[in-house]
Amino acid sequence: MTEVSVAKQDVAATDELVVLKSVNKHFGALHVLQDIDLTIARGEVVVVIGPSGSGKSTLCRTINRLETIDSGTISIDGKPLPHEGRALARLRADVGMVFQSFNLFAHKTVLENVMLGQIKVRKADKKQAEEKARALLDRVGVGTQADKYPAQLSGGQQQRVAIARALAMGPKVMLFDEPTSALDPEMINEVLEVMQQLAREGMTMIVVTHEMGFARSAANRVVFMADGRIVEEAAPDQFFSNPRSDRAKDFLSKILHH
Amino acid sequence: MFDFLDKYDVLGAFWTTVQLTLLSAVGSLIWGTLLAAMRVGPVPLMRGFGTAYVNIVRNIPLTVIILFASLGLHDTLSITMGSDQVETANFRLAVLGLIVYTSAFVCEAIRAGINTVPVGQAEAARALGLNFTQVLFLVVLPQAFRAAVLPLANVLIALTKNTTVAAAIGVAEAALLMKKMVENEAQLLPISAVIAFGFCCLTLPTGLILGWVSKKVAVKR
Ligand SMILES: Nc1ncnc2c1ncn2[C@@H]1O[C@H](COP(=O)(O)OP(=O)(O)OP(=O)(O)O)[C@@H](O)[C@H]1O
Ligand SMILES: [Mg+2]
């Protein structure tokens, strides 16, 4: 009896982590998100792909409410997104975000960047925070850079620090908005490898990227967006080799030729 | 030529100038920072207050503010700033007036500094779960101050010179002494030279030191 209920809870818990229902958003007259329905299961890795201006970044940013929405609902781990205040801050701590332009705190060292949220949001003590920060920096391969300032690091190193900074909060889900598109080609792989490892370890990830290698090897699902809508959702292999919609075919033919 | 100096306490008068400057500087740095925080904050009422304050105060002549402090607050409303002595009360009223006035310029210098901080910095901080005050005081303002050192140095230099307005309500600082000396001695040029030299001794190092500090603390991006 108990076993059954435990198993059941397990199922419920491993089920839906991020749920968007009929989400709409406008920027003035521009309808950037149109009736978005998207469910991401715990441990799932979803790659969001689509032409420029299709609303991928906006979608990402609504999930931790860096952008507000006009209608619809978004919930994380069964709880609807709070509108503001302490509850929102707590939710944001559970949702890690990695930006295209890294956005490391420029006036703090790499180590301090990874410690700040732990101390100020998670109220960890300094010693523990530092230990965790150093361990995470080692894990993403920049342990030796801990005492440098962000500007002294290469783009690839900065982005890996940014990933460590987000992981330090112990997030339930990680959002990546084109994490490699500001990087020189030779640094893209070092970041993708860290992300791949995260995916293997079971982190729930929503990744906006055009890196098809990553999508094929790490993603459970590809979501294709165009003009503010989700046009197609499919397993990576199926999506890349056999897209159903014309928009996706058109888009893929363009990025494949580059 | 400079023997009149023996009869007057020039150093003492400049010491009062320095005290006026330092106290007002600290006060206006604090109040000006709070005003800047209000102006960039999410609360419309506070934003409105900050904007109105800056736009009104920086358009009123400092002399009017200082005279109001003395004639209005002290003489009419009997606000003595915790002192029965007229000199002490006037000194404190002058500091109050200077803070009220200078903080508007401090606020604008800091706001210009805030504008040099890329929005991504605040977004990353919010994404970690920091609240508005934490984002402002832990991430945005520390970077804004570093970018604002030079504009703030200019405000400080202006403040140093503005302390002379306190002479209008009888605070015994350098300009009041100059007035007394000019009235008593027939040596306008040397007297002016001494006072001008005194102010340069205060303001030139301020500019040089803060210029150096500004380079030293600049945030590398
Ligand atoms: N803050 C804003 N104010 C007004 N319009 C905006 C804002 N942010 C984005 N937009 C517009 O919304 C649309 C969707 O933008 P979004 O950044 O989500 O697209 P994207 O799919 O991420 O594109 P890209 O691949 O270029 O990053 C675009 O047309 C963009 O110009
Ligand atoms: Mg984008």
Evaluate whether residue A203 is within a structural domain: yes
Whether residue A27 is contained in a domain is answered as: no
| Boundary-marking domain end, from A171, A189, A224 | A171
Partner-chain contact A107 B129, CB within 8 Å: no
Q: Is the pLDDT of residue B139 over 60?
A: yes
- C-beta A27 within 6 A of ligand 1: yes
* Domain presence at residue A75: no
Q: What is the mean pLDDT of residues B44-53?
A: 97
Contacts of A151 in chain B (CB under 8 A): 220-221
In a shared domain, residues A88 and A198: yes
Q: Which of A65, A101, A103, A163 to mutate to test the interface with B (most CBs of B within 10 A)?
A: A103
Range A152-179 burial, b when 16+ CB lie within 10 A, else e: ebebbbbbbbbbbbbbbbebbbbbbbbb
Q: What is the pLDDT of residue A165?
A: 98
Rounded to the nearest angstrom, the minimum Cα separation between A93 and chain B is 5
- A135 with A223, same domain? no
Does the pLDDT value for residue A9 go beyond 70?
no
How far does the CA of residue A108 sit from the closest CA of chain B (Å)? 9
Domains annotated on chain B, with CATH: 3-217 (1.10.3720.10)
Considering the domain boundaries, does residue A39 fall inside one? no
CA–CA separation, B176 vs B163, rounded Å? 11
Put simply, the answer to whether B220 touches A86 (Cβ < 8 Å) is no
Does A144 map to a domain?
Answer: yes
Q: Is residue A211 part of a domain?
A: yes
Chain B, 132 to 161: residues with Cβ < 8 Å from chain A are 134, 138-139, 142-143, 146
Whether residue A29 lies inside any domain: the answer is: no
> Could you tell me if B16 and B90 are in contact, meaning their C-beta atoms sit under 8 angstroms apart?
no
Q: Average pLDDT, stretch B34-39?
A: 96
Q: Can you tell me which residue has the tokens 């010693």?
A: A127
User: Are A87 and A189 part of one and the same domain?
Assistant: yes
Assess whether A117 and A239 both reside in one domain: no
Based on the domain organization, do A181 and A242 belong to the same domain? yes
| Ligand 2 center from residue A178 Cα (angstroms) | 7
In a domain, A22, yes or no: no
Mark yes or no for CB contact B127/A92 under 8 Å.
yes
Per DSSP, helices labelled H in B58-140 are: 62-67, 86-115, 119-128, 132-134
CA distance B64 to B73: 12
Residue with the two structure tokens 């967006």:
A225
Candidates B170, B94, B211, B117; CA nearest to A105 is B117
DSSP three-state, residue A99: coil
Whole-number Å distance, alpha carbon A56 to ligand 1 midpoint, is 8
Q: Whose CA is nearest to atom 29 of ligand 1?
A: A53
Question: Which residues, at least 6 apart from A43, have a Cβ–Cβ distance to it below 8 Å?
Answer: A14, A202, A203, A204
Q: Are residues A88 and A196 in the same domain?
A: yes
Mean pLDDT for all residues in chain A:
92
Distance CA A65, CA A72 (A): 13
Q: How much is the pTM? A: 0.89
Collect all residues of chain B within an 8 Å Cβ-Cβ radius of residue A121.
128-130
A248 and A154 fall within a common domain: no
Residue nearest to atom 17 of ligand 1 (CA): A57
Distance A182 CA to ligand 2 centre (A): 11
Q: How far, in Å, from the CA of B173 to the mean position of ligand 1?
A: 59
In DSSP notation, B158-181 reads HHHHHGGGGGGGT--SHHHHHHHH
- Distance (Å) of CA B181 to CA A209, B43, B202: 76, 52, 21
| pLDDT at residue A14, rounded to an integer | 56
- How far off is chain A from B42, nearest CA to CA, in Å? 11
pLDDT interval class at A124 (50, 70, 90) = very high
Confidence bin at A86 (pLDDT 50/70/90): confident
Instruction: Quote the ligand 2 centre to A211 CA distance (angstroms).
Output: 14
Tally the domains of chain A: 2
DSSP state of A148: S
Check whether residue A53 and residue A109 sit in a common domain.
no
Q: Are residues A188 and A232 in the same domain?
A: yes
Determine whether the shortest distance from the Cβ of A62 to ligand 1 is under 6 A.
no
Kindly report the protein residue whose alpha carbon is nearest to atom 16 of ligand 1: A55
Partner-chain contact B220 A106, CB within 8 Å: yes
Mean pLDDT within B78-97: 84
With bands split at pLDDT 50, 70 and 90, how would you rate the model's confidence at B69?
confident
Calculated CA dihedral for residues A119, A124, A130, A134, nearest 10 degrees: -100
CA angle A213, A214, A218 (to 5 degrees): 125
Structure tokens at A170: 């112990």
CB pairs A-B closer than 8 Å: 68
Rounded Cα–Cα distance for residues B57 and A139 (Å): 54
Together in a domain, A177 and A133: no
The residue from A143, A171, A199 where one domain ends is A171
Range of the domain at A145: 105-171
pLDDT one-digit tens code per residue, A28-68:
999 999 999 999 999 999 999 999 999 999 999 999 999 99
**pLDDT single digits (tens) B149-203:** 999 999 999 999 999 999 989 888 999 999 999 999 888 899 999 999 999 999 9
CATH number for A181: 3.40.50.300
Q: Which of A127, A145, A171 is where one domain is finished?
A: A171
Are both A90 and A179 inside the same structural domain?
yes
Is A170 near ligand 1, meaning CB less than 6 Å away? Answer: no
Residues A235 and A183 in one domain: yes
* Partner-chain contact B127 A95, CB within 8 Å: yes
B44 CB within 8 Å of a chain A CB? no
Going by pLDDT thresholds of 50, 70 and 90, the confidence category of residue B77 is confident
